[in-house]
Structure 1
Amino acid sequence: MDRGVILALTLCLFGVSVYGEDPYIYYTWNVTYGTISPLGAPQQGILINGQFPGPEINSTSNNNVVINVFNHLDEPLLFTWHGVQQRKNSWQEGTPGTACPILPGTNYTYHFQVKDQIGSYFYYPTTGLQRAAGGFGGLRIFSRLLIPVPYPDPEDEYWVIIGDWYNKGHKTLKMMLDSGRSIGRPDGVIMNGKATNEEPLYTMKPGKTYKYRICNVGLKDALNFRFQGHAMKLVETEGSHVVQSFYDSLDVHVGQCYTVLVTADKDPKDYYMVASTRFTKYTHTATGIIRYTNGAGPASNVLPPAPVGWAWSLNQFRSFRWNLTASAARPNPQGSYHYGQINITRTIKLVNSVAKVDGKLRYAINGVSHVDGETPLKLAEYYGVADKVFKYNIIGDEPPADLTAITIAPNVINATFRTFIEVILENSGKSIQSYNLDGYSFFAVACEPGKWSPEKRKNYNLLDAISRHTIQVFPKSWAAIMLTFDNAGMWNLRSEQAENRYLGQQLYISVLSPELSLRDEYNLPETQIVCGIVKSLPKPAPKYS
């Protein structure tokens, strides 16, 4: 063959390898109301393509995910992709601070990339209290074939979507909060959409090992999850491979996900999976059956008990360790990133509080109770009218001395691009808290009782703390997280307790790239819905190039 032809073919192949896009996967969702009976009594639920819970999203690291959502509800709708980092693309995050809702009778197409991520995640609607009616489901990201996974391929894998549940409809719950009242305690717990699953959810072949992806999508309560008669080998937590250890049960706090391996090595019959409330004066329980394919008997009615007290849960948190030698979504080992050797440039201490304002219940962070306006914060920032919608940094890096006085306003702070920041989450209340940060994974370096002070840094895990997106904070305790703010955009830090979040226990972090480069952030998408004060404004020229 002519050397020129060979050269031309080589260049063509090189061009494909350099410029070829990552694969696309497509979904079409029709979101409707429908009758569901999670706790036995019929009630209105939110279905996706007729399903409750919703259909799973199956993707592989770096896939482009395209989801065309048709809103057949009688209310606005938004979806967030809980744990997906949306690199350079907070436009697709689906929170009220970043996007306008999909109005009834219209559709919107989400387009995002699961860039450099693997693991178990979920999605849910963020408008009002819609998560209380459903609209949630699992989102899995497989490793690319060239990246080794630190355990053999399982025989199969299964979702276990757990959460507390209210018999009251989501609109009633929202009205209660709007009137200044609490929604109170939930009425039960569900597993894959039901409190009691009489037919087997899954089957297992004797001697085979199965992967279970467990996520708490509830509104209020931490849940303890366990298998009857089987230990769980924890292998992944919210995108991080962990040092593999066996657990009889796991505390799964609101918004958290775990991936475990379970081997069918017991007597062939039925066994229960159990999820029950933790840290409450009441006990709600959900069960699901796993059946051996050669099973010859029903599951025992004696359910394995949950642990007692939160000291057990704290010790479990401390037992989780990052697998330093395993690769996650990239070829390099997780431990090649030495977060403990990076200088902290800023410390932000955030303390939650609760009080009544004009007779109505409100929750706050550092004395400010966030409220969403008609114009998403990110749109206002991009259009150059942020000063007409919100003020930056109305809270400081230290909480005020008096947390009983609460200001209701949009709560937005700045973080300098690519700085390494320590965030302290201190819980002065009597109830456990759970916080999620959009756009990032952070290193959960400590979780301790009492109040934080700089001397507590000596207790940090600066070697192999796991990288995750949601962390619990126990009553009268604090948690410390560390991360580099290298993902430009507008990102939501929020309580995962629905009542707290809806009534103000959240804030947004604006991370702007000074270089205005497409390398750091995407421009406003052509198809982005606009609303509020920017709806009548001309679309600005692209900011990033």
Structure 2
Amino acid sequence: MSGMMLLLLLCLSLGTISVVHCGDPTINFEWNVTHGTLSPLGVPQQVILINGQFPGPNINSTTNNNVVVNVFNNLDEPFLLTWSGIQQRKNSWQDGTPGTMCPIPAGKNFTYQFQVKDQIGSFIYYPTTAMHRAGGAFGGLRVNSRLMIPVPYDTPEDDYTVLIGDWYTKSHNAVKKLLDSGRSMARPDGVLINGKDAKGDGKDEPLFTMKAGKTYKYRICNVGLKNTLNFRIQEHWMTLVEMEGSHTVQNTYQSLDVHLGQCMAVLVTADKDPKDYYMVASTRFTKSVLTGKGIIRYENGKGPADPELPEAPEGWAWSLNQFRSFRWNLTSSAARPNPQGSYHYGKINISRTIRLANAASKVDGKLRYSINGVSHVDPETPLKLAEYYGVGDKVFKTDTIKDEPPEDETKVEVHPNVVNQTHRDFVEIIFENHEKSLQTWHVSGYAIFAVAIEPGRWDPEKRKNYNLLDAVSRHTIQVYPKSWAAIMTSFDNPGMWNIRSEHPERRYLGQQLYIAVPNPSHSTRDEYNMPDTALVCGIVKDMPKPPPPYRN
């Protein structure tokens, strides 16, 4: 079916689907998800491919584009993708988490339909079912600014996506069995850059090429499984220009710590001798450092890359100071023609404070991760679907955790973890990390203001140290060992939204929850009705679909 015909059909059915806006362009993709055998670290292993590619295809979109992705699941088990950082306004039906959607059955297909509304920036997609992320099926998702919106830097010669991540030579099924048995994933086997690790034997093909004197944009995203990675390019400085959907103050760095699930966009000028150079990604905060390499080649350059790699910084204090240097660019335009800084988040009264503490413990002798004493499990019926069909009370209970951590974090309950949240409340969330390992958190459905990270324990006096002027609006936040991090956000997007650890192991073993934000207006102005194309499963599979509760 042609793109124009698909768009016409979607426009004709706006009364029920309501996710495609006919005045905005539609871009269409057809993806086949399969298993394949590759050797990313020199050892043959089973990986997950999208259209035969590892990593998967890059989605190149522009603000307000309607994105239609028809995914054919040719694996032998259910599969689901999430579009990390895409805010999915009014549309948690397309968020791609097991709490909002039924997974795509083996041998079947599902068409995602969403709009990258009023967004720009660098993002990723990845699987949320089982431990599929340990097999691949991840890729870059970029949202370019419309031509009418000025960008605070000159147009680069080219725009490159750099996917860095630690990697295991075990298959995703082997990793899942390890976790199901009650054990941890342990240490990864290496680090990949765009699915490869340069051998340094002079035979490596370049990942990217540059023309001398030209400036390039590199979108660097950590798609790994366990570790923060430090990224750097031999002899080249990087000017940070964007981070997870926000233009930043343009500071220049020799290296950047990129935590799990995070994306940063930098400008790099080809102003060195024309030859090969290594881009390097190495693990941080680990006893044994793992390093991955990739070649950047100057056009018509002569000479191999210097085998001596630039060193990474040491300690997490350096990383914390780097976080404090990140600032929102208040003078630039965003996706809409208004200054980003016109939203004065620091002057809004806080309606609610939620403190969330992560913990590792054993339940029936097996490893589990929890938030405020609850380790989440995904029910057979997605939470959003159960709520829509009016059977939520048969699937989950809400507010089983309090707004502050329990005194005894070793006492853990295992069940769905759902928190009610009033629509449009401006909420402060404190992530408290009482463990010795670094944590990274993701918030679906919203942009969050990362106002503070500090060592020690949080108390209300710490608000004096918040950045209430130009904290970067983003969707992830890291929390250093024995530290806390504070974010602020307005819960103005009704739906069922996931807050999760960006560590796949911890997410799989329970370190996540869902925020249920009601639609008090009962209007599609605030939230879409369930799409006609939505998959149904669990206890609602054979139930009649309820009439649309929200009016147009």
- Using structure 2 for the length normalisation, give the TM-score: 0.95
Tell me what 2:386 maps to.
380
Tell me what 1:5 maps to.
none
| Residue 25 of structure 1, aligned match among 27, 31, 44 | 27
Tell me what 2:180 maps to.
178
| Residue 242 of structure 1, aligned match among 235, 248, 251 | 248
| Residue 63 of structure 1, aligned match among 59, 62, 65 | 65
Find out whether 1:320 has 2:322 as its counterpart.
Answer: no
Map Cα deviations across residues 240-292 of structure 1 (whole Å, 9 max, x no partner).
00000100000000000000000000111111000000001111111011111
Change (3 A) 1:166 1:20: closer
Q: Which has the higher mean CA deviation after the structures are superposed, 423-432 or 286-295?
A: 286-295
Tell me what 1:278 maps to.
284
Matched residue type, 1:77: F
Map Cα deviations across residues 131-184 of structure 1 (whole Å, 9 max, x no partner).
101001110100011110000000001111000100111001101111111111
Matched residue type, 2:376: H
Distance, in Å, in 2 between the alignment partners of 1:543 and 1:36 is: 48
Map Cα deviations across residues 486-533 of structure 1 (whole Å, 9 max, x no partner).
011100000011111100000000111211110000000001000000
Tell me what 1:53 maps to.
55
Map Cα deviations across residues 359-382 of structure 1 (whole Å, 9 max, x no partner).
011000000000001000000111
Map Cα deviations across residues 72-120 of structure 1 (whole Å, 9 max, x no partner).
1101000000100000000000100000010111100000000010011
Find out whether 1:422 has 2:428 as its counterpart.
Answer: yes
Distance, in Å, in 2 between the alignment partners of 1:542 and 1:20 is: 21
| Residue 238 of structure 2, aligned match among 232, 242, 247 | 232
* 2:198–2:295 Cα contact (<8 Å) kept: no
Tell me what 1:305 maps to.
311
Distance, in Å, in 1 between the alignment partners of 2:198 and 2:132 is: 23
C-alpha displacement of 1:121: 0.5
Map Cα deviations across residues 45-67 of structure 1 (whole Å, 9 max, x no partner).
10000000101101000000000
Find out whether 1:531 has 2:507 as its counterpart.
Answer: no
Distance, in Å, in 1 between the alignment partners of 2:474 and 2:291 is: 27
C-alpha displacement of 1:455: 0.2
C-alpha displacement of 1:21: 1.9
Find out whether 1:514 has 2:516 as its counterpart.
Answer: no
Map 1:308-387; keep pairs closer than 5 Å: 308-387=314-393
| Residue 476 of structure 2, aligned match among 465, 470, 474 | 470
* 1:222–1:277 Cα contact (<8 Å) kept: yes
* 1:439–1:491 Cα contact (<8 Å) kept: yes
Map 1:63-462; keep pairs closer than 5 Å: 63-196=65-198, 198-462=204-468
Distance, in Å, in 2 between the alignment partners of 1:79 and 1:463 is: 35
* 1:206–1:294 Cα contact (<8 Å) kept: no
Tell me what 1:36 maps to.
38
Map Cα deviations across residues 458-488 of structure 1 (whole Å, 9 max, x no partner).
0000000000101100000000000000011
Question: What is the number of residues matched between the two proteins?
Answer: 527
Distance, in Å, in 1 between the alignment partners of 2:197 and 2:226 is: 16
Distance, in Å, in 2 between the alignment partners of 1:26 and 1:235 is: 28
For the residue of structure 2 that corresponds to 1:244, the secondary structure is coil
Distance, in Å, in 1 between the alignment partners of 2:394 and 2:333 is: 46
Distance, in Å, in 2 between the alignment partners of 1:441 and 1:273 is: 30
Distance, in Å, in 2 between the alignment partners of 1:390 and 1:538 is: 21
For the residue of structure 2 that corresponds to 1:148, the secondary structure is coil
Distance, in Å, in 1 between the alignment partners of 2:395 and 2:197 is: 43
Tell me what 1:12 maps to.
none
Find out whether 1:479 has 2:485 as its counterpart.
Answer: yes
For the residue of structure 2 that corresponds to 1:196, the secondary structure is coil
C-alpha displacement of 1:20: 5.0
Map Cα deviations across residues 376-428 of structure 1 (whole Å, 9 max, x no partner).
00001111111000000000111111111000010000111001000000000
Tell me what 1:8 maps to.
none
Distance, in Å, in 1 between the alignment partners of 2:268 and 2:300 is: 17
Tell me what 1:11 maps to.
none
Matched residue type, 1:289: I
Map Cα deviations across residues 206-257 of structure 1 (whole Å, 9 max, x no partner).
1000000100001110000000000000000000000001000000000000
Map Cα deviations across residues 17-41 of structure 1 (whole Å, 9 max, x no partner).
xx95211000000111111111111
C-alpha displacement of 1:194: 1.1
Q: CA RMSD in A?
A: 0.8
Structure 2: 5+ residue stretches without partners = 1-20
Distance, in Å, in 2 between the alignment partners of 1:232 and 1:510 is: 40
For the residue of structure 2 that corresponds to 1:514, the secondary structure is coil
State the identity as a percent: 72
For the residue of structure 1 that corresponds to 2:441, the secondary structure is strand
C-alpha displacement of 1:328: 1.4
Matched residue type, 2:216: Y
Distance, in Å, in 1 between the alignment partners of 2:288 and 2:44 is: 23
Matched residue type, 2:397: K
Tell me what 1:10 maps to.
none
Matched residue type, 2:166: D
Distance, in Å, in 1 between the alignment partners of 2:374 and 2:87 is: 26
C-alpha displacement of 1:195: 1.9
C-alpha displacement of 1:294: 2.5
Distance, in Å, in 2 between the alignment partners of 1:219 and 1:136 is: 12
- Using structure 1 for the length normalisation, give the TM-score: 0.96
Distance, in Å, in 1 between the alignment partners of 2:290 and 2:197 is: 9
Distance, in Å, in 1 between the alignment partners of 2:198 and 2:494 is: 44
Distance, in Å, in 1 between the alignment partners of 2:208 and 2:191 is: 19
